[in-house]
Chains A and B, each alone.
Chain A
């Protein structure tokens, strides 16, 4: 397949599949098959793109309409984009496997498959584009699809959480639009590469800085950083399980990616002030997220607060702003996407086995399903940073960079938050699996089909843990490419 086709395929293929899913929506069996084969095809296409990007060691680009370089919209695939596209396809495939056994006939008929594919189109488009306005459009595609998916299941309380989610995300979109509008008015460009070279010359122009502040706010809301994360914990726990898993794994990470792309590349020249700000925002996010989780007794609410706290670790890597730290943050992102989706899917299996999500009402699952107990333990321990799982290396790499930057307080906080995370996971384990069931229920039984994606993602976690080298080299190269797009960055001599 030609390279231009490979570059657009991750964004175009889901759009075509979305249409097909709409036609198939009244036949649940067809919808299921389409969702699974469609995400499977997407996975193959993204792996093809990844291989095409990895070989030459430099980013691929595609200028739409053959406009001269800075004028038209272009897709720009460096290793960071390629890694994230593959990772999101894997997560989408796992989510599809779970959705096939979870989603009922009525929800399929409302177009669940269509919105699922539209969401993927938005996410992949955001990862691939090199144009700020185009990024805004992909964000909106993603958000509209996520709004629809959020309310489709019609569980109790879903509207309350969804209202907060929709309103705050709309406000964030307006910040984004205003920020890019100011930037365009000042520079006349929206191409991220072109902006990077022009912004360096602008120095500390207050107009450019106000635009940077708006974009930081916009991406911060989407990424769910302190103090802008309050929309996340009410929204995710009340939606469907597959939906929450894909959201928890991917949506906030698109915001994180935008922070990396814009504040690591185009606005990289600001690094002195913004990176300190981002560093302490990261620390505050870690602490508040983990404290929020400690006070919760609902499985998916605990996990939602841990999304926030883990985002803090990733942002911390961006705040340190060295190639090693950004590489560690990329490694952390990949680990976190797999593990978080895995935990949310496991939470779905827990809820359908134990028929509740409240820790007080759960119990006895260890006896009923030792397999589920074991499969939950893999991502839970990985999230807590226990060797030899992927989380250990993610935390280790990040901590090493923190110590190298001699940020002792930050390192101490990161360690304490890690221990508190483990405490949270042990809480779920003890309540849901270990203790006896507190109420008379019939025999508890897991649904084998739900355990397949959980097991597959667990296997990935173990593989990353056993062989962290290749992924770390990829992350390092991705960080190098990202920083190479920032003309102001001078590599520190090691």
Chain B
């Protein structure tokens, strides 16, 4: 299961990197979304995957039963998803404005501001 998730993270990150490096602004946005998912899935997987019941500690127990995945990592991912969604929404508006400004030239249209 972890191997599968690891391959998925790698694929997402590879596709995301490829798209971010392309010329079109919309491709960059898609690439960022994929990279965000890769990072989120990585955090989710790194804490361990496992089949367990609801992650509630019983009245007589002090710790979560053995074999349970760590619920804290899932809480972290939840926060990270909210953040990346917000930033992506901002990025969408920004790229739209940039596109209106520099036309369909894509990222190569940004070059004139570098010097």
Contact = CB atoms under 8 A, between A and B. Distances in A.
Interface of A: 133, 136-137, 140, 143-144, 147-148, 151, 157, 159-164, 166-167, 170-171, 173-175, 177-178, 180-182, 184-186, 188, 230, 233-234, 238, 295-296
Contacts of A233: 114
Interface in B71-85: 72-73, 76, 79-80, 83-84
Interface of B: 20, 25, 28, 32, 35-36, 38-40, 42-48, 70, 72-73, 76, 79-80, 83-84, 86-88, 90-91, 94-95, 97-98, 101-102, 109-110, 112-115
A389 B25 CA distance: 46
A181 B90 contact: no
Contact of A185 (B47, B88, B91, B114): B47
A159 B98 contact: yes
B32 A143 contact: no
A341 B81 CA distance: 34
Contacts of B48: 185
A170 B76 contact: no
B1 to A, nearest CB: 14
Where chain A touches its partner, the secondary structure class is: helix
Given A167-B32, A184-B76, A178 B43 contact: yes
* Smallest CB-CB A-B distances: 7 pairs: A185-B46, A181-B43, A174-B39, A160-B113, A159-B98, A177-B39, A178-B39
Contact of A144 (B46, B70, B72, B90): B90
19 contacts: A144-B86, A159-B98, A159-B101, A162-B98, A163-B110, A166-B90, A167-B20, A167-B91, A170-B87, A174-B35, A174-B36, A174-B38, A174-B39, A180-B43, A181-B44, A181-B47, A185-B45, A186-B46, A234-B110
B47 A166 contact: no
A486 B32 CA distance: 35
A227 to B, nearest CB: 15
A181 B25 CA distance: 29
Q: Which of B35, B36, B47, B94 has the most CB of A within 10 A?
A: B94
A177 B35 CA distance: 11
B85 to A, nearest CB: 11
Contacts of B110: 160, 163-164, 234
A188 B98 CA distance: 42
A233 B79 CA distance: 31
Contact of B46 (A143, A159, A170, A181): A181
A161 B76 contact: no
Contact of A171 (B25, B35, B76, B102): B35
Contacts of B45: 185
Contact of A184 (B43, B91, B98, B102): B43
Contacts of B46: 181-182, 184-186
A181 B113 contact: no
Contacts of A184: 43, 46-47, 72-73, 76
Contact of B76 (A147, A151, A181): A181
A136 B98 CA distance: 27
A170 B80 contact: no
B87 to A, nearest CB: 6
Given A137-B83, A164-B110, A185-B45, 16 more contacts: A144-B86, A144-B87, A157-B113, A163-B94, A166-B87, A167-B91, A170-B35, A173-B84, A177-B43, A177-B80, A178-B39, A180-B43, A185-B43, A185-B47, A186-B46, A234-B113
Contacts of A174: 35-36, 38-39, 84
A185 B32 CA distance: 24
B88 to A, nearest CB: 8
B42 A160 contact: no
A177 B40 contact: yes
Contacts of B36: 170, 174
B113 A173 contact: no
Given A167-B32, A184-B73, A186-B46, A159 B114 contact: no
Contacts of A163: 25, 94-95, 98, 110
Contacts of B112: 160
Contacts of B97: 151, 159
Nearest to B77: A181
A330 to B, nearest CB: 30
A224 to B, nearest CB: 15
A26 to B, nearest CB: 22
B83 A170 contact: no
A167 B28 contact: yes
Contact of A140 (B72, B83, B91): B83
Contact of B101 (A160, A170, A296): A160
